[in-house]
Amino acid sequence: MTRVFSGIQPTGEVHLGNYLGALRHWAEAQHENESIYCVVDLHAVTVRQDPDELRAKTLATMATLLAVGLDPDSCTLFVQSHVHEHPELAWLLECTVSFGELRRMTQFKDKSSRGGSDGVEGVSAGLFTYPALMAADILLYDTDLVPVGDDQRQHLELTRDVAERFNHRYGDTFVIPEAAIPRVGARVMDLQRPTDKMSKSTDSDAGVVMLTDDPATITRKFRRAVTDSEPEVRYDPENKPGVSNLLAILAASTSGDPATLAGEFEGYGALKAATAEAVVAVLEPVQRRRAELLEEEGYLLDVMSKGAAKASEIAADVLRRAHDAMGFVVVH
Ligand code: ATP
Ligand code: LTN
């Protein structure tokens, strides 16, 4: 059976990009494959987090995963820091990946350039080695497929390179994983700055549709979405990024095709209204369920604890295999 693994950071409110680019596909995959999903709290602390907020966001992210339809009886749901094999394997991979490979990662370049005038000097060393921890997450479960948004493509390539290098040096140890990137919705853009991806860590939320936004807020954000001065509704991401983003969101929310949908609208007003309506319809049941789950902290902790026990069983075996291959003395 195909093994699927993916992760989400508990760094803020889950947004429409996370949902259309990743979470929705996680929910579909759980019925067809053996699926394992992780709230990657160790990745979150590569940038500074307030401890009380991190705790609350980790619980809220788990509630969101359950609310989008992930079922702990059909998949494994756990929190990264509960399975100590993740940072342990990350160390072995940090010693396999090169400094140059990490330096070329665009996410590192983007996030470190937001750090102010001292640039990379002031960012954490963890932000730099982040991709090795991500590779460990994936390789620890003999993962075949990794459903992610388009922004993770480069990290997946690095994971494959590191796994191949390790296998070449030390003998067959890891399964080489593949990225599963959706055809539509893999790169939902910010509604105010349609050339930037919609992101949790952006300074203004006017262009970010949160999973917790009420219908009036969602409608307002779409009504104010930046488009262009040409009247024609056409799917052309390069020349018409704002309009194309709306068409992609509408297509992803209604299982349609962006270029075909373009022909159904005379003007931007109607397109914005239809997209807002489709998004409200998709998010409404998720929001209701999430609000209920947030009241059930005991249940969330129970899901986390059972998930960590299931994940640890697989992870311990694979880590032992990697230790053994590298020449560490393994005792039982
Ligand atoms: P940040 O921008 O703060 O790094 P994020 O919004 O990218 O956070 P993550 O937790 O890093 O959120 O990502 C969870 C999943 O959502 C990943 O698979 C990622 O590829 C996907 N994703 C994130 N943003 C988008 C987007 N704008 N469109 C489509 N998929 C996205
Ligand atoms: N880097 C990813 C989050 C992430 C992940 C993973 C995704 C950490 N570990 C393993 C897939 C598989 C991000 O920023 N979205």
Kindly report the CATH number assigned to the domain that includes residue 273. 1.10.240.10
Phi, psi of 254 (to 5 degrees): -125, 15
Q: How far is the CA of 258 from the centre of ligand 2 (A)?
A: 27
308 C-beta closer than 6 A to ligand 2: no
Ligand 2 atom closest to 5 (CA): 12
From the CA of 193, the nearest ligand is 1
| Same domain flag for 141 and 232 | no
Ligand 1 atom index nearest CA of 7: 14
CA distance between the termini of the chain: 29
Diameter of the chain measured on Cα atoms: 70
Cβ atoms of 198 and 188 closer than 8 Å: yes
Task: Tell me the whole-structure pTM to 2 decimals.
Answer: 0.95
Is 29 domain-assigned?
yes
Q: Is the CB–ligand 1 distance for residue 208 below 6 Å?
A: no
Phi then psi for 65, rounded to 5 degrees? -60, -40
Decide: 208 in ligand 2 pocket, CB within 6 A. Answer: no
Beta bridge partners of 173: none
Q: Are residues 229 and 247 in the same domain?
A: yes
Q: How far is the CA of 88 from the centre of ligand 2 (A)?
A: 17
User: Which has the closest alpha carbon to 3: 325, 318, 322?
Assistant: 318
Residue 194 within a domain: no
Residues 144, 160 contacting (CB under 8 angstroms) = no
CB-count burial class (<10 Å; 0-12, 13-18, 19+) for 288: exposed
- Residues 42 and 82 grouped into a single domain: yes
Model pLDDT, residue 107: 87
Are both 41 and 145 inside the same structural domain? yes
- So what's the pLDDT on residue 117? 54
* β-sheet with 75-79: strand ranges across: 75-79, 34-39, 3-8, 145-147, 178-180
Report d(CA 165, CA 152) in Å as an integer: 20
- Nearest to 43, CA basis, from 172, 201, 167, 255: 201
Q: Are residues 229 and 285 in the same domain?
A: yes
CA-nearest of 232, 227, 218 to 273 is 218
Query: Which ligand number lies closest to the CA of residue 49?
Result: 1
CB of 138 sitting under 6 A from ligand 2 = yes
Note whether 24 and 54 are same-domain residues: yes
- 204 in a domain, yes or no? no
Q: Name the pairing type of β-strands 178-180 and 34-39.
A: unpaired
Catalytic residues: 111, 197, 200
* pLDDT at residue 115, as a whole number: 59
Query: Which residue's alpha carbon is nearest to atom 7 within ligand 2?
Result: 7
Same domain, 273 and 148: no
Regarding the beta carbon of 198 and ligand 1, being less than 6 Å apart is answered: yes
Tens of each residue's pLDDT in the chain, 332 residues: 899 999 999 998 899 999 999 999 999 999 999 999 999 999 999 999 999 999 999 999 999 999 999 999 999 999 999 999 999 999 999 999 999 999 999 888 888 887 555 678 889 999 999 999 999 999 999 999 999 999 999 999 999 999 999 999 999 999 999 999 998 889 999 999 999 999 987 888 999 999 999 999 999 999 999 999 998 999 999 999 999 999 999 999 999 999 999 999 999 999 999 999 999 999 999 999 999 999 999 999 999 999 999 999 999 999 999 999 999 998 87
Dihedral Cα 153, 182, 292, 207, nearest 10 deg:
70
Helix (H) or strand (E) holding 54: helix 51-67
Residue with CA closest to ligand 2 atom 4:
7
Residue 174 is assigned to a structural domain of this protein: yes
CA of 201 to the centre of ligand 1 (A): 10
Which ligand is closest to the CA of 42, given by its number?
A: 2
Position in ligand 1 atom list of the atom nearest CA 111: 4
Pocket flag, ligand 2, residue 18 (CB < 6 Å) = no
202: in domain:
no
Residues 243 and 307 in one domain: no
Residue 155, ligand 2, Cβ within 6 A: yes
- Would you say the CB of residue 22 lies under 6 angstroms from ligand 1? yes
**Does 332 reside within a domain?**
no
Euclidean distance between CA atoms 287 and 270, whole angstroms: 25
User: What backbone phi and psi angles, to 5 degrees, belong to 36?
Assistant: -130, 125
Asked if 86 and 164 sit in the same domain, the reply is yes
**Which CATH number covers residue 57?**
3.40.50.620
Same domain flag for 174 and 219? no
Q: Is residue 192 part of a domain?
A: no
Which domain covers residue 44, as residue numbers?
Answer: 3-185+297-326
Using the atom order of ligand 2, give the atom closest to the CA of residue 9. Answer: 3
Q: Is the dihedral of CA 317, 178, 167, 80 positive or negative?
A: negative
Ligand nearest to the CA of 184: 1
Q: In 292-309, which positions are buried (b, 16+ CB within 10 angstroms) versus exposed (e)?
A: ebbeeeeebeebbeebbe
What is the domain count for the chain? 2
- Does 50 lie in the same domain as 174? yes
Cβ atoms of 290 and 63 within 8 Å: the answer is yes
Residue 154 lies inside a defined structural domain of this protein: yes
Question: Is the minimum distance from the CB of 148 to ligand 1 under 6 angstroms?
Answer: yes
Domain check: are 58 and 169 in the same one? yes
Distance between CA atoms of residues 314 and 103, nearest Å: 31
Question: Ligand 1 centroid vs 199 CA: distance in angstroms?
Answer: 6
